[in-house]
Amino acid sequence: MARRILPGLPLSLGITLVYVAVIVVLPLGALIFKAASLGPADYWTIVSSDRAVASYRVTLLCAAAATAFNLVFGMALAWVIVRYRFPGRRFVDALVDLPFALPTAVAGIALTTLFASNGWFGGALSALGIKVAYTPIGIIIAMAFTSLPFIVRTVQPVLEELDGALEEAAQTLGASDGEIFRRVLLPQLLPAILAGLSLSFARSLGEFGAIIFIAGNQPYETEITALLAFIRLEEYDYPASAAIASIMLLAAFLMLAVTNILQTRALRYTVKG
């Protein structure tokens, strides 16, 4: 009788499927079922209303801006942590995970305190004519704060595993630092970068607690889609809340699907290269 590589596979598989069904499939199914209780005309009226469309625009644009910022800053932070040794390096490395451990509401209150017009950072920025709190800039900062670890933690392990001999060989052949990064490092980092970007963007789309305190929540200006769904929920309009939430769910699924396709192509390119 052939031995199975994974002992107790039926039991572990059953537990896994039950977990996925209860934690993931059941809530999503309830959301879709509630949204489907609306007729097509009512559903379209809700999701295409001016206020809903404005919330989509605010959410998507701010999430894209936060993800772009995290791409640059997160890559730089991962590079510094991996490639350099300096006092406090372990502290900085641990600090990256703070948004994971910190309740998002606490993060929102802290960011509002710092970036309000009388805050430490907000006061200095206000003197320059830049208002952060209760503007889209505040939303971007909150999204960037909560989603930064996804970029760092996906890129950092790949950087640690890169073979330094490849860079040395490129230097020997006369390649500049920019050419080494673009032709040697970037192809190997690209799948991890795409994974980090997708996770960061998805987290920004669904962020709620850190944003509502610093956004100001003004309809058509600083109201995010998650807040609009919550408002409909407080009004006991459950179908409308589910309909609005389903749009963001669809956006997240589409974004993850596109990212997976790009990752697959990047991996094929890396293997061929």
Q: Which residues contact 169 (CB under 8 A, 6 or more apart)?
A: none
Count helices and strands in the chain by DSSP H and E runs: 15, 0
What are the tokens at 170?
């490129």
29 confidence band (pLDDT: 50, 70, 90):
confident
- Distance, CA of 270 to CA of 189 (rounded, Å): 9
Report pLDDT for 51: 92
Between 165 and 6, where is the model more confident?
165
**Cα Rg of the chain (Å, integer):** 22
- Distance, CA of 163 to CA of 170 (rounded, Å): 12
pLDDT at 272 over 90: no
For range 206-226, the mean pLDDT = 88
pLDDT at 27 over 80: no
Please state which of the four CATH numbers 1.10.260.40, 4.10.1240.10, 3.30.450.20, 1.10.3720.10 is assigned to the domain occupying 38-272.
1.10.3720.10
pLDDT at 83 over 90: no
Per-residue pLDDT tens for 126-158? 888 888 888 999 999 999 999 999 999 999 888
Q: Which residues contact 104 (CB under 8 A, 6 or more apart)?
A: 146, 207, 208, 209, 210
202 confidence band (pLDDT: 50, 70, 90):
confident
Between 20 and 272, where is the model more confident?
20
pLDDT at 273 over 60: no
Specify the residue for token string 């970037």: 186
- Distance, CA of 250 to CA of 245 (rounded, Å): 9
Residue 125 in contact with residue 50, Cβ under 8 Å? no
For range 207-211, the mean pLDDT = 88
